[in-house]
Structure 1
Amino acid sequence: MPQTHYLSEKDVFQALEEGALLLTVNRRLSRSLLQRFTSHQASTGRTAWETPDILPLSSWIMRCMEEITYHHPDVSHPLPITRDQELSLWEDIIRQSPHSRGLLHLEETARQAARAWTLFEQWNLQDQQDPALWSSPDHRAFLEWSTAFRDYTQGRGWMEEARHTRHVARMFEKGCLPCPAHLVLAGLENLSPVQEHILDVLDGLGCKINHLEPARNDPAITLMPLADREQEMRTCALWVRTKLESDHEQRIGVVVPDLYSVRQEIIHTFDAVLHPDTAFEPLPPEKRAYDLSLGRPLSGYPLIRSALHLLDLRLDPLPLETVSAVLNSPFLKGAKSETPARSGLETLLRKTREPQISFSFLLDKAADSSKSWSCLVLARSLKAFQARIKELPSTQPPSAWAQDLDLLLQDLGWPGDITLSSHEYQTVQAFNACLKRLAGLDRVMPSTGMSQATQTLSRILNETIFQPEPPEVRVRIMGMLEAESESFDELWIMGLTDQAWPQSPEPSPFLPVSLQKHLDMPRSSPQHELDYARRIMHRLLQNTSRAILSYPCREEDLELLPSPLLREISGLEFNEPGLLPDPDPWAGLSPGEQLKYFQNEQAPPLSQASRAPGGTGVLRSQALCPFQAFARHRMHARSLEEPVVGLGPPERGIIMHAALEYFWQSCRDQAALLNLTGDRRLQMIDQAVDQAIREMHSQRPQTMTSRFQELERERLQDLLQEWLALEEQRQPFQVQELEKRSNISINGLELNVVADRMDRLEDGRLVVIDYKSGRHAMSEWFKKRPVEPQVPLYTLFCPEHVAGVYFGVVRKGECAFVGLGQEDGIVPGCKGFASHKLTSHYQHWDELLQDWKKSLEKLAQEFMQGQARVDPESPNACRQCDLESICRIFETGQPFTQEPPDVT
């Protein structure tokens, strides 16, 4: 390694004017130095100058690889392969290896192997292959893989990035590349042996090599412990706000060691403090007063997630999550004009409760022009997408797939009709670059299917860390590595706990750890991380005039300790956080006025003889909570249905109802039931169950597969057998009505009601039965606000004499009648009116009916009058309600008491 000679920044700029080459540790530092050079030139009064040669070391090596071919086109040279091509080769080699058995994550293993190979080459480990060192199974597997990788690439004249530096050094030695006259290095202090070798070669060829002199500031440093991470972030954001308001020239830096893990919390806090006026509206990144340097995987950007969801439309059936994402995406043709219709279409699809939707079903519903959910623009896009999919070959090279995937997205109108912001435009350009990277895999992946091509594109997008070009702002939030070579007037380094800084070592699992430690390789040992952290911290503090170092003292119940590096900093001033002005996020919404609070529990009354949608569900909601009835049946407020794997309780109740209805349509009375032979009974049960299953299949075709139908058939057959055994024990009866629909009026409220079943006893009286697949108690009829009003309502409006009212609980192992009769023994297990605790205070049956009538009329009257107070009947009313975001019951602190046990 040549002796280190430093140049001041001014001298470096002079050298750049004279044609020197400036190599940096990363792109961010290259951009920063270019900006500083530009400012320097402008400050001297110049209006035009040559662009200086400033770039990262890795980019310069790649440029040299290209220049070799340019200067010597007649000589055969190794052909560089891209990182994507390299990873694809590692995956193939590992997949074909016997060591791949038992691997759960092939892609991650390939990434780790590629990282190990880079270290292997850069640290010259080919000379360190003592079998005693490489003794573990992972080490031996890597040596086999790396040998296969080297043989495969060298046999084809290919060269991966790990060997580029060594090859470029050799070309300089052979005179195949012109040696730069003057080379300046910035931030390049931790070089590998191979990188040091190329500098030795250049030095030996007469190249003048200097380093950019680091800043030598002696900053005022304050240590500030804070209660927790939340307080630390907010205090820092308030400090930044104060600095921005007091000085319009200062460059402010915020450095976070674990920025990746707290990225969203940082954005949320700084947006709330620096942009409190955007509390109700998302803030576009390009309009923020700060720049967050940390990029994120390209696949995480909304535009790219939308593209991947659109490409997933090739799947059939489609996961409902994919369909929902497509219908809600703004990056799709017609998204704005069809927003209401697409929302309606999603609601329709969710009502099926299917986890998967067929493409044809989606297309048919979107193309139905007679419905409110008609989405004709979407339908045309889907048809074009479908037509192109059908024309595609089963396999073709990645370059062809890249073109076809792009065309499929064009068919769907991606990225939409909206005007893209600068950041969104850059994101689309980055996506197109990833398509080109997919196309570049032809060399290592000659032919593949669409699924593999799409998965490969997804992997490329996941691995591509993307950060749109930041605007010119004075506040930069960065990780430790990005900030190392930046200079600031004011600096805050947060999160300096012993867990976060220094970082924990992360040696490569495929290289001997002892060898990594001996060679002091990156991430190899605690000592390496400590030395590295100490060097970074020293550089950061030298690059600023004033610094605040902070750490949170607690994380939930865990006490946190400060970083041990803080003890090494001299002149550290301990300080408690001062009181910084904390902006009120609500300020400015109504200047000069106090917020007023009011509570309105009265909705507009309904007109007389209004028909309520939902039938008896209106009275049930009014009993559970008046606000629920108003929101659900007048505002039509409902959460979207969630998909259910298999059949949920509602569907199981529906299919049970249907099977019993079809059975009693064929077997009309108890006598016929008792006369059925075993085989004939099974036959009738099978017929009823089959008909119910066919109906459910028409509603849930994706769920009701052949195998699932078999399982459901067995369940229903056993359930009906158990229930019919109970029916045999009753007094003789005839089935009078099944699923009888009636229109009734109660206090001017028109209701549509359906009675599950009415039986006629031998004495002519009727029995009302309401099937239930869950547990129910008759105490639900005797509450001040009856929460199960259906059976009392049937009884009151039945034109004939009713002898008993019952829940028919049809539940495996728990089949039973639950209810009340005029006397004992009408159905098994149920007492009569005179002997039941719940009716002991009534003198006669008609008195009970009158009490029910008053309760139900009161519920109807309250609903008609528009009474909409938030008044849940019990805790269960809230637990089974999806309106809490509207009523905000849990913000009231209203206490709930437990219900007394039900008396059945």
Structure 2
Amino acid sequence: MNFSDFFKAIKQGAVVITVNQRLSRHLTSRVEQALVDEGAAVWDSPMIMSFDVWLLQCWQRRFDLQSNEASASLVNKTLLTQEQALVIWERVIRQTLGAELLNVPATAKAASKARQLSLQWMIAENAVNDISTGVDMASFNQWHDAYKDELNKSAWIDRAQLIKTVSELVDQDCLPLPNQIIFSGFEIYTPTQQSLHALLIEKGHQLSEFSAEAATNQTHVLKAIDRKEEVKLMAQWARERLDENPDNMIGIVVPDLEVMRESIESAFKTVFYPSVVYPVDVPFEKPYNVSLGQSLLSYSPIQQSLRLLQFCSQPITFSELCLLLRSSFITAGQKEWGQRARLEVVLRKKGILSCSVKQLRNSLQAPKDDESLCPLLLKCLNEVIELLEAKPNRVLPSDWVQLFRSFLATMGVQGDRVLSSTEYQVFQVWDDVLKSFSTLDEVYSVITFETALNALRKILLERVFQPETPTAAIQIMGLMEASGHTFDALWVCGLDDKTWPQSPNPSPFLPLAEQRNKGLVQSSAEHQYQHAKIITKNWARSAKTVVFSFSHVKDETLQAKSSLIEGYPVITKEQLLQQLPVNPIEHRVGNKNFKWIEDVSGPLLEKSETVRGGVSILKDQAACPFKAYVHFRLQTNALQEPEPGIDARLRGSLVHRSLEELWTKIKTHKALCDLSVDEQYELVKAIVTAVVQTESKRTAILKKALGQLETERITQLLMAWLNIDRQREPFEVIATELKQLLSVGELQLNTIIDRVDKLPDGSLAIIDYKTGDCSINSWFGLRPEEPQLPLYSVFSEGNVGSISFAQLKKGQTQYQGLTDSDDHFSTLKNLADKKVKADYDQWNSQMGHWRTVLGGLSDEFVTANARVSPTAKACQYCDLTSLCRINEQITQRAAEDE
């Protein structure tokens, strides 16, 4: 049947049944365009639908058949949705011995598929029930019997039975069908379909097939180096075909589209929108469309809706909370986005690892007479908490749906901005899913909130959604989607000998011999080959120009072309394309000559510009100028990541504050030595307890047993430390947490010295507390790793005679430092010590060197030297990896060396 006869039959009322919904839309579009070409202004919608939709329509018409006694039993049955059927499968599987060892949802899907295959391909019941067939099949038989009992008991039928049911309606003359029925796009018919065909012919219906073919044909085979090149060439070819004629309809078939989708979209965006260097998305109508739908669970509106429902039920992780706060799919998401970003920073500093609705509400409640950081979000949370107080324990799925809707409406899930077309469609489908979920009342008893949410999540995971978009000239399709289509040009990729034909994949729940005897495509290599041969021939005649391609290398393995594309002439990429693909930058600049300039400086630091950061400015400048520039000129830092337990920063802060309080009370070495051990312990314990209790008001983790454990840990640590201070020569603590403004070159640095001791000779000992690893060798060199104590020694007032780390770490409580005299701080080293990798062996010379080095670092920062030039360890814990270009430098240098 050609298109003219097909079009004539449509106008005479024929119904067209297609292999899939995509072909239905394609044929409907062609018919409607033909009607327009004839001058028609209005017309009845052509009866073109997929086989599954046609069966469903026939079933739905059973309500018109109540007067027919023969069909009365069918009228009273209920057709289960796929979701309802899977719930029953899961239930019967869980009731069997050993079910705890199975992935029940996956097993239920496989069992449902096996039932469908057994009915479609008329595999005899006695073959399925043969107990000698193996453990898997024996288990399936047990589940299947229980499943059928459930259906019979409740007068249900499932989708697998629908074709048989419709056949019964046809046989009883209960369906008023048109005289002519046309099938299109079917490459193979199952036995049940063949039986239905025979029945329709017996009842006097005229059956025919429509298979459109291109008038002329040129088919070539292309070999690409690898999959990446294959995809690039395909995108460039599609662009050239469209440039030749904007009215061309171009097909792209990718057998493993689900796996290759991201690479395909990236290649097409690069070719069609070369000006977009990193084309994450294109906000305007594209000339190409990827037909493969994605799980609803992959769309942001769905993810946010589930996240909000989870949040209403139980605490969520901090990372989930951050996604919630940043989302626009929540009340006032746009209006309060700045405040919510600040809220996230606050919560990060508190070290929150998980959060409930009430905890977030409490964090947002401001002190009396102050305004909340996010008042609109706070109002929303208060309303949700009221709903939660009335939340039932167990109800039917439809009841949970009502509550889900209430929660989401209260949380303002659609946000406060105009939705995009895709977002709007996703919310429409979400509403349909909730309606579908309500029908699970048929198969569920009362369930908990968590069970309902998990069941809903499974449905969303399985439900595939493809947003409706304007018809694009280039259609990128999966393996079976091109069936029945015609194009002006078609490219089928991935046709190597290991991929095409596909490998057999028989059902483990049905006898393999029966599957092969009945001709199930996936049951054997021979059946796969014959089916692939038919598909390949159909591809070759479905367009005027056809390209079959394969990659020579895939996953580091050499491949040959599939035997099914042998005999077609080979073409090279140079013969196929007018222009080979280039990268986006080459596309824009062409053959122009450019002078490369490396810009490593930012704007100079103005005298009026205030820079905060203290000693950390020089520390970062020494580690890497780029790091200092980003942190302190651009004021950009990575967000603090909450950690389980008490993190190192909080532990260090508690130790510092405890020592400050201790020496404020003790003051001198003599006073310390006058304390008995018990008196010392009582003093330390009281001070540490007070410090931890004060901090617990801001940090929730310290309110529980962990706070008590930390109090005891710090107490023991400080007891050990004070015993070390007892062994020192006499000293007087003249300052703790001493704030100073130090001038280093043109920089004014606000600093805080942990402790300053006055020694008997009048010199000063500057001490910096460290609760982790430390080394005095980090003070030396042109770019010192730890410039803090050198800075204090050179630029502080007074006669500094020693500098040291006070290392307070379990098992490593010690002083590490330098002194200009062994007489008053004998535990420290002098510059002449061989273990000290100092720049000079004399105190004054080292001081002068430090003044020069630190002054140079200050000058670098003031002149905005932002070169990416890290020291050996600078990149190890750097928080700027996503911003820095160090890896590009390494790659460029390697290329230059080659």
| TM-score in terms of structure 1 length | 0.89
Report sequence identity in percent. 30
CA contact (8 A) 1:804 1:826 kept: no
Corresponding position of 1:50: 44
Distance 1:95 1:707 in 2: 41
**CA apart distance, 1:640:** 2.5
Corresponding position of 1:786: 784
Structure 1 portions without partners, runs of 5+:
1-6, 898-904
CA contact (8 A) 1:669 1:735 kept: yes
Distance 2:497 2:705 in 1: 56
Determine helix, strand or coil for the equivalent of 1:639. Answer: coil
Distance 2:675 2:526 in 1: 85
CA contact (8 A) 2:756 2:767 kept: yes
**CA apart distance, 1:99:** 2.5
Relative to structure 1, the CA distance from residue 478 to residue 718 in structure 2 (aligned partners, 3 Å threshold; closer, same or farther) is farther
Correspondence list, 1:685-704, <5 A: 687=686, 690-691=689-690, 693-694=692-693, 697-701=696-700, 703=701
Relative to structure 1, the CA distance from residue 187 to residue 769 in structure 2 (aligned partners, 3 Å threshold; closer, same or farther) is same
Distance 1:635 1:853 in 2: 27
Corresponding position of 1:329: 327
**CA apart distance, 1:239:** 0.9
CA contact (8 A) 1:491 1:546 kept: yes
**CA apart distance, 1:280:** 6.0
Relative to structure 1, the CA distance from residue 840 to residue 229 in structure 2 (aligned partners, 3 Å threshold; closer, same or farther) is closer
**CA apart distance, 1:775:** 2.5
Corresponding position of 1:249: 247
**CA apart distance, 1:28:** 0.5
Relative to structure 1, the CA distance from residue 841 to residue 158 in structure 2 (aligned partners, 3 Å threshold; closer, same or farther) is closer
Partner of residue 869 from structure 2, selected from 867, 872, 883: 872
Give a deviation string over 1:457-508, Cα, whole Å, max 9, x none. 2222111111122312221111110012211111111122233322233222
Corresponding position of 2:5: 11
Partner of residue 67 from structure 1, selected from 54, 61, 64: 61
Corresponding position of 1:435: 434
Q: CA RMSD in A?
A: 3.5
Partner of residue 340 from structure 2, selected from 334, 339, 342: 342
Distance 1:729 1:437 in 2: 78
Give a deviation string over 1:628-649, Cα, whole Å, max 9, x none. 3232112201223333333444
Relative to structure 1, the CA distance from residue 196 to residue 631 in structure 2 (aligned partners, 3 Å threshold; closer, same or farther) is same
Distance 2:247 2:425 in 1: 29
Corresponding position of 1:636: 635
Distance 2:421 2:774 in 1: 59
Relative to structure 1, the CA distance from residue 705 to residue 843 in structure 2 (aligned partners, 3 Å threshold; closer, same or farther) is closer
Relative to structure 1, the CA distance from residue 454 to residue 882 in structure 2 (aligned partners, 3 Å threshold; closer, same or farther) is same
Corresponding position of 1:900: none
**CA apart distance, 1:147:** 1.5
The one-letter code matched in structure 2 to 1:739 is E
Correspondence list, 1:26-45, <5 A: 26-45=20-39
Corresponding position of 1:543: 542
The one-letter code matched in structure 1 to 2:94 is R
Distance 2:133 2:762 in 1: 91
Corresponding position of 1:451: 450
Determine helix, strand or coil for the equivalent of 1:221. Answer: strand
Distance 1:627 1:434 in 2: 51
**CA apart distance, 1:265:** 1.0
CA contact (8 A) 1:670 1:733 kept: yes
Relative to structure 1, the CA distance from residue 526 to residue 648 in structure 2 (aligned partners, 3 Å threshold; closer, same or farther) is farther
Distance 1:120 1:258 in 2: 27
Correspondence list, 1:837-852, <5 A: 838=836, 842=840, 844-852=842-850
Distance 1:564 1:133 in 2: 40
Corresponding position of 1:646: 645
Determine helix, strand or coil for the equivalent of 1:413. Answer: coil
Distance 2:713 2:365 in 1: 38
Distance 2:177 2:672 in 1: 102
**CA apart distance, 1:404:** 2.5
How many residues align structurally? 886
Corresponding position of 1:220: 218
Which stretch of structure 1 is more off in the superposition, 525-534 or 572-581? 572-581
**CA apart distance, 1:454:** 2.2
Relative to structure 1, the CA distance from residue 539 to residue 603 in structure 2 (aligned partners, 3 Å threshold; closer, same or farther) is closer
Partner of residue 240 from structure 1, selected from 222, 234, 238: 238
Corresponding position of 1:559: 558
Which stretch of structure 1 is more off in the superposition, 820-829 or 515-524? 820-829
Give a deviation string over 1:160-195, Cα, whole Å, max 9, x none. 111122222223323443455322211234333333
**CA apart distance, 1:235:** 1.1
Determine helix, strand or coil for the equivalent of 1:262. Answer: helix
CA contact (8 A) 1:653 1:773 kept: yes
**CA apart distance, 1:705:** 7.4
Correspondence list, 1:716-865, <5 A: 716=714, 719-720=717-718, 723=721, 726-727=724-725, 729-733=727-731, 735-761=733-759, 765-824=763-822, 830-836=828-834, 838=836, 842=840, 844-863=842-861, 865=862
The one-letter code matched in structure 2 to 1:357 is C
Distance 1:115 1:445 in 2: 22
Correspondence list, 1:103-502, <5 A: 103=102, 105-125=103-123, 127-129=125-127, 135-178=133-176, 180-213=178-211, 215=213, 219-279=217-277, 282-284=280-282, 287-363=285-361, 374-502=373-501
Q: Are 1:572 and 2:558 an aligned pair?
A: no
The one-letter code matched in structure 2 to 1:28 is R
The one-letter code matched in structure 2 to 1:25 is V
Corresponding position of 1:888: 885
Determine helix, strand or coil for the equivalent of 2:481. Answer: helix
Distance 2:8 2:188 in 1: 26
CA contact (8 A) 1:494 1:549 kept: yes
Determine helix, strand or coil for the equivalent of 1:878. Answer: coil
Which stretch of structure 1 is more off in the superposition, 162-171 or 27-36? 162-171
Give a deviation string over 1:382-417, Cα, whole Å, max 9, x none. 333333333332332222222332232222323223
Relative to structure 1, the CA distance from residue 594 to residue 66 in structure 2 (aligned partners, 3 Å threshold; closer, same or farther) is same
Structure 2 portions without partners, runs of 5+:
none
Distance 2:551 2:589 in 1: 36
Distance 1:150 1:681 in 2: 79
Determine helix, strand or coil for the equivalent of 1:877. Answer: coil
CA contact (8 A) 1:292 1:478 kept: yes
**CA apart distance, 1:27:** 0.4
Relative to structure 1, the CA distance from residue 143 to residue 687 in structure 2 (aligned partners, 3 Å threshold; closer, same or farther) is farther
Determine helix, strand or coil for the equivalent of 2:101. Answer: coil
Which stretch of structure 1 is more off in the superposition, 53-62 or 548-557? 548-557
Distance 1:721 1:791 in 2: 25
Determine helix, strand or coil for the equivalent of 1:786. Answer: coil
**CA apart distance, 1:764:** 5.2
Distance 1:707 1:505 in 2: 59
Corresponding position of 1:3: none
**CA apart distance, 1:238:** 0.9
Relative to structure 1, the CA distance from residue 667 to residue 96 in structure 2 (aligned partners, 3 Å threshold; closer, same or farther) is farther
**CA apart distance, 1:106:** 2.6
The one-letter code matched in structure 1 to 2:397 is P
CA contact (8 A) 2:128 2:137 kept: no
**CA apart distance, 1:624:** 2.1
**CA apart distance, 1:522:** 4.3
Relative to structure 1, the CA distance from residue 876 to residue 555 in structure 2 (aligned partners, 3 Å threshold; closer, same or farther) is farther
Q: Are 1:81 and 2:85 an aligned pair?
A: no
CA contact (8 A) 1:497 1:552 kept: yes
**CA apart distance, 1:424:** 2.8
The one-letter code matched in structure 2 to 1:745 is S
CA contact (8 A) 2:187 2:534 kept: no
Give a deviation string over 1:519-538, Cα, whole Å, max 9, x none. 33242233332222222111
CA contact (8 A) 2:605 2:864 kept: no
Distance 1:31 1:630 in 2: 57
